[in-house]
């Protein structure tokens, strides 16, 4: 990474693809900015279907007032709907490693109060040719990890596997992990039971709305 490390560095991870990481990151950026904090967001690489609109870097840039090319370097935009290293290979482009990706993360100078880094896909998804989301968390050493998950069926297994990997391989203990149950419906018995199991049985910090999420991260 170049530039001063943010005062707070948050990694936005997910239990899988399309769980709402970018939406959650944008909301966190807006909520933190509303509290007078200077926020920057970064995505080390993004892959997408040709012609897709509203790319992650564009949405994060809108939320933070940065250009999409600053959020994610344009040479890391891969127009193939695969994990970034697979997309690069499909396009005949050179492979890249995690250290290379993280070295390209450029924070503003003077520094920012909150720096958000959003992963591609889930914690087990390849981020580079030599590592996945857990490996990235280990190298990045964030102050907190936001693990975005679905609220319904299957999320207990997804979250449990992700938190074990993050703890065992990246050293992210429960004090640095906040699970965000996206699209949580308090009137849904399954959603409520999942929340209670994650917090009561597994002892995890769980947020079911973005106001609670920002509070957990700033405490």
Length of the chain: 219
In a domain, 2, yes or no: no
pLDDT tens-place string over residues 113-164: 999 999 999 999 999 999 999 999 999 999 999 999 999 999 999 999 999 9
52, 78 Cβ separation under 8 angstroms? no
Q: How many CA atoms lie within 13 A of 72 on its CB side?
A: 24
Q: What is the pLDDT of residue 219?
A: 87
115, 10 Cβ separation under 8 angstroms? yes
In a domain, 32, yes or no: yes
Q: What is the pLDDT of residue 23?
A: 98
Q: What is the CATH number of the domain that holds 97?
A: 3.40.50.300
Q: What is the pLDDT of residue 135?
A: 98
Residues paired with 9 in a beta bridge: 115
Catalytic site positions: 43
**Domains in the chain, number:** 1
The boundaries of the domain holding residue 99 are 8-218
* DSSP-based three-state secondary structure for 154: coil
In a domain, 96, yes or no: yes
In a domain, 144, yes or no: yes
127, 136 Cβ separation under 8 angstroms? yes
pLDDT at 1 over 90: no
100, 131 Cβ separation under 8 angstroms? no
In a domain, 30, yes or no: yes
In a domain, 1, yes or no: no
């Amino acid at each position: 990474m170049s530039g001063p490390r943010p005062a707070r560095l948050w990694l936005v991870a997910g239990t899988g693809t399309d769980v709402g990481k970018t939406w959650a990151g944008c909301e966190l950026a807006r909520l933190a900015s509303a509290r007078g904090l200077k926020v920057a967001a970064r995505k080390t690489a993004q892959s997408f279907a040709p012609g897709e609109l509203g790319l992650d870097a564009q949405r994060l840039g809108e939320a933070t007032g940065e250009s999409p090319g600053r959020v994610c370097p344009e040479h890391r935009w891969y127009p193939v709907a695969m994990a970034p290293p697979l997309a690069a290979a499909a396009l005949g482009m050179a492979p890249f490693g995690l250290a290379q990706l993280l070295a390209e993360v450029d924070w503003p100078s003077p520094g920012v109060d909150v720096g958000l880094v959003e992963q591609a896909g889930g914690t087990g998804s390849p981020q580079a040719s030599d590592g996945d989301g857990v490996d990235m968390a280990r190298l990045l050493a964030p102050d907190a990890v936001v693990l975005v998950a679905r609220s319904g069926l299957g999320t207990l297994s997804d979250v449990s596997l992700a938190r074990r990997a993050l703890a065992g391989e990246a050293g992210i203990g429960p004090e640095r992990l906040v699970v965000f149950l996206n699209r949580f419906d308090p009137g849904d018995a399954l959603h409520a039971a999942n929340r209670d199991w994650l917090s009561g049985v597994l002892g995890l910090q769980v947020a079911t709305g973005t106001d609670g999420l920002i509070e957990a991260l700033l405490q």
